[in-house]
Each structure stands twice: as C-alpha cells, then as structure tokens.
C-alpha cells in the first residue's frame, strides 16, 4: 500500500482503519469478525488505526486491546479522541485526563500517537446544541491540555475534528491555531450527514484548503458518508434522516458504478483517495470483506479525472 507524508509522524498508509465498524456502529457484525479485521489490516499494509471512546461505548478500543494485547505491530500508529461538548473550560482538563487514561486502559497501551477533540467547534456565544465546544474553550483549555499530554510523552500529537462551524475552523487555521492533525469530511457528496452543524453550509473542501495552507496533515473521513455511498443502507433510518436523503441523492452515482462494473463503495473510496488534501482516508469497515474491497480500491490507483467529472456532474456538485 502507498505511504503518504503525515507530519511529525513521518508517513502513514493511504488507508486508515477506523473504529466505527469495529465498534459495531455501521451495521451488524460480531466481536470475532472485528478482531479478525483489526488483525488483518496491518497485514494488508495499513499503518494507522483511528479509535475513539464513542465508537460503541468503548467497544472499538476494547477490540484493539484484545486484538493486539498491548503490543501493536511494528510501524503501526494509533489515535484516540475525546468529546468535550459544552463542558465548562475549568472542567476540561480533568475530562481529557480521564478520557485518555480510560482509552489507554482499554487498548492496553501507555501511549497514543494522536488525540483529537471529537466534536463541533463553534463560535463563542453561538448555539452548541450540547455537541459543540466554543472556540475560546478550545483555545484556552482543550489545546493546552493536549499539548501538556505531548510534553509528558503520553501522546505524540494533537488534533481537531473539522466539523462544526466551518467559518470558525477556517478562521482558527488562518490565525495560526494549527493542530498537528485534522480530520475532515472527504466524500463525493461533500456531506457530513448527521454530523453537520445546523447553521450554514458544511464547506468541507474549504476547510481542507485552509488546512493545506496551514500545513496541517489531513485525515479524510466519511468516504462513504455513513453508508449513503454504498449499494444499500444496512441500518434502518427514517425517510428524513440525512443519510437516507444522501443515499437518494447518490442514485446517479450508483448508476455510474454499475456502468463501470465496480461497487459504489469501491468507487467512493477511490474518489476520496484521489481528492486533493487528505494524507490518509479513514475506513469505517466492519468486516474483512469490506476491508479487502477498500484495499483493492487503493491498489487501483487514482481515479480517472474524466470519471471524477462525470460523478461530480451526476450528483450536482459544481
């Protein structure tokens, strides 16, 4: 598998194994299959594992702990995250401390390579909807504590999840508030689905451009937009759910996939891998079959620009 530059960590594989599938968030699977998937990923060349406590209420991190017994394969890096939300700034350091300690215990590790803030970043005074952290709290409490973890050797770098108010995120990056890493939506619909901050457009490609300008390595997330860019949604969703709406919007894309003889998931990952910006694309796979399909998409190389243009036109992206 191709390796790509990844900031202070050197380089990582073009694909990252995400924890959503391992935490059984993306449709039915089993603990045994998740363990097998986690162990096979490094064998297929994947060198970065992206975890979070919220993936199955700790299940994904527990899978990693059981799969590797506290000793990751040589060259494999790992991340974790923490949701801070609208926690008062004074309480943030203790929250981050507890979250990191619990994640390390689940994964049977003493160190992670990156720790991310795992929720919206919002403007001061704007609604947080209990899911966002005001910019002032991020800058005064979250970032200093993450930097403290770095100085203590408990993490190697810190990051932000590039969701929330895009204007705030872009302003932070332009003002020199530059995380070591950032996770940003990277899919052909430019859609964050149910993760979208309610006010305004999501603007993921603008956030990607700002991160590139700031020199911050990017992890592309939601390549198949929570299943909307696959052959079928494998979870029951209401008709007005963002993923259901995105699945309907992607019908022309699925027609193109059928025409070229590839699965929608294969093409969606190949498209994300071909986007300008992301150093690595995070997979939400829940079994080895899905993992191998994604690895095959990476091995196929960049998508033909003409096909990218056809897909963009078909789904109405200018």
In sign, the C-alpha dihedral spanning 301, 306, 309, 313 is negative
pTM exceeds cut of 0.85: yes
How confident is the model over 63-87, as a mean pLDDT?
98
pLDDT of residue 234: 78
How confident is the model over 95-99, as a mean pLDDT?
98
Structure tokens at 246: 């995105």
pLDDT in tens, 153-186: 999 999 999 999 999 999 999 999 999 999 999 9
Establish how many alpha carbons lie within 13 A of residue 108's alpha carbon, considering only the half-sphere containing its beta carbon.
11
The closest of 107, 36, 76 to 286, measured between CA atoms, is 36
pLDDT of residue 199: 83
pLDDT in tens, 43-74: 999 999 999 999 999 999 999 999 999 999 99
- Count Cβ atoms below 10 Å from residue 39 Cβ, excluding itself: 14
Alpha helix stretches (DSSP H) within the chain: 31-43, 59-68, 92-107, 135-137, 143-151, 166-174, 204-214, 242-249, 251-260, 264-274, 288-299, 305-314
- Count Cβ atoms below 10 Å from residue 256 Cβ, excluding itself: 18
- In words, the CATH class of domain 3-314 is alpha beta
């Amino acid at each position: 598998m191709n390796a790509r530059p990844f900031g202070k960590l050197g380089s990582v594989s073009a694909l990252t194994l995400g924890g959503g599938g391992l935490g059984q968030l993306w449709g039915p699977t089993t603990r045994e299959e998740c363990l097998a998937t986690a162990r096979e990923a490094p064998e297929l060349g994947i060198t970065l594992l992206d975890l979070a406590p919220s993936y199955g209420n700790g299940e994904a991190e527990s899978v990693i702990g059981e799969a590797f017994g506290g000793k990751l394969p040589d060259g494999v890096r790992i991340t974790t995250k923490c949701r801070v939300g609208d926690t008062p700034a004074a309480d943030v350091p203790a929250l981050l401390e507890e979250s990191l300690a619990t994640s390390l215990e689940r994964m049977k590790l003493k160190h992670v390579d990156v720790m991310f803030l795992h929720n919206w970043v919002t403007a001061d005074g704007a609604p947080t909807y209990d899911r966002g952290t005001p910019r002032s709290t991020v800058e005064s409490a979250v970032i200093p504590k993450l930097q403290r973890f770095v100085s203590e050797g408990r993490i190697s770098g810190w990051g932000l999840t590039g969701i929330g108010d895009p204007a705030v995120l872009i302003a932070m990056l332009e003002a020199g508030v530059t995380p070591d890493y950032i996770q940003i939506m990277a899919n052909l619909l430019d859609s964050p689905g149910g993760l979208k901050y309610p006010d305004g457009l999501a603007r993921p490609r603008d956030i990607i451009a700002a991160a590139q300008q700031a020199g911050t390595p990017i992890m592309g997330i939601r390549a198949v937009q929570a299943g909307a860019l696959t052959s079928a949604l494998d979870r029951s969703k209401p008709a007005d759910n963002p993923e259901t709406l995105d699945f309907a919007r992607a019908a022309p894309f699925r027609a193109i996939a059928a025409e070229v003889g590839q699965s929608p998931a294969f093409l969606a990952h190949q498209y994300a891998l071909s986007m300008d910006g992301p150093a690595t694309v995070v997979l939400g796979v829940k079994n080895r079959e899905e993992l191998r399909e994604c690895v095959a998409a990476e091995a196929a190389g960049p998508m033909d620009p003409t096909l990218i243009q056809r897909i963009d036109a078909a789904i109405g992206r200018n």
